[in-house]
Structure 1
Amino acid sequence: MTDFLGKGLSFPFRFSPRTGGTAVSSSTSFHPDHIHESITQILGTRLGERIHRPDFGSRLHELVFEPNDRILKALLRQYISQALRRWEPRIRVTSIAFDDNPVVTDQNRLDVHMHYSIIATNTEANFVYPFYRQPPT
């Protein structure tokens, strides 16, 4: 039974047709997908962006103009860990790494590889979050 992983509105919000008719309903996501969508929402939301919950989100947007160096990576680790520890209680982040291969390195995009365990089942999972130092074009 995996009900503890949750079910909720999918992110980004969208509509999907109901089977057997023309009515539409909001799409929902289940279990691991719901956790990944939650991580995306947490890391992609600036502190103060939500009116009724100004402390929700992360500080990642503060790093947009920082040089792509080891200091940026250390701050990314810290801000991601803080935000997920506070806002995603279903998981425990076990490691955060970066793809430093010069062949695939884009100076404006840094892929953050997160490994985490789902606390209730002690199941290992991973997620890649693309951090853009400048808005993607």
Structure 2
Amino acid sequence: MSDDTREFLGIGWKFPLQVTAGGGIARSRYEQRIEESIYLILSTAKGERVMLDDFGCGIQDLVFAPNNAVTRARVVQNVRKALTTYEPRIDVLDVSADSQPNQDNLLLIRVSYRIRSNNAIGNMVYPFYIQEAA
């Protein structure tokens, strides 16, 4: 696929911010940029950004919620709504949140998405800790 058809995906500063060996700011391109954007949306609490008060996911409000089906359903709902609202370059295909047998405080949020400009399928797993570690 040529770079001309991928320009819509964007080029920008790498997240988290990194400095290159030459002293410049590291940049990310195309599909990597979208994955970083999804990570940023999920990591941002609502109200955290002064000028964009509603930006973010809202799962941080559930950090002390019990690890049960209701909490997992709320996490899935919040993630789907945030990605649909704040990442226009993708179609959200599936979101799930699964708890781990040996780690009661860890939810693995799985996101599957399609990039609209080229129909490429992407997925990522975002770890979210819902309670203080024992």
> Structures share a fold, TM > 0.5?
yes
**3-state SS of 2:103 partner:** coil
Distance 1:59 1:100, change over 3 A: closer
Aligned residues: 130
Unaligned segments of structure 1, at least 5 residues:
19-23
Encode CA deviations 1:11-56: one digit per residue, 9 max, x unaligned.
11111123xxxxx111111112111111111111111111121111
Q: Name the aligned partner's letter for residue 64 of structure 1.
A: V
Q: Mark the CA change 1:44 to 1:135 in structure 2 (over 3 Å): closer, same or farther.
A: farther
TM-score, normalized by length of structure 2?
A: 0.88
Match of 1:120 among 117, 121, 129: 117
Give 1:6's match in structure 2, choosing from 4, 10, 14.
10
Backbone CA RMSD of aligned residues = 1.8
Shift of the 46–27 alpha-carbon distance from structure 1 to 2, 3 Å rule, reads: same
Map 1:19-98; keep pairs closer than 5 Å.
Answer: 24-98=23-97
In 1, the alpha carbon distance for the partners of 2:125 and 2:70 equals 20
**Cα distance change, pair 40–29 in 1 and its aligned pair in 2 (3 A):** same
Moved over 4 A (4+): none
Could you tell me the TM-score, scaled by structure 1's length?
A: 0.87
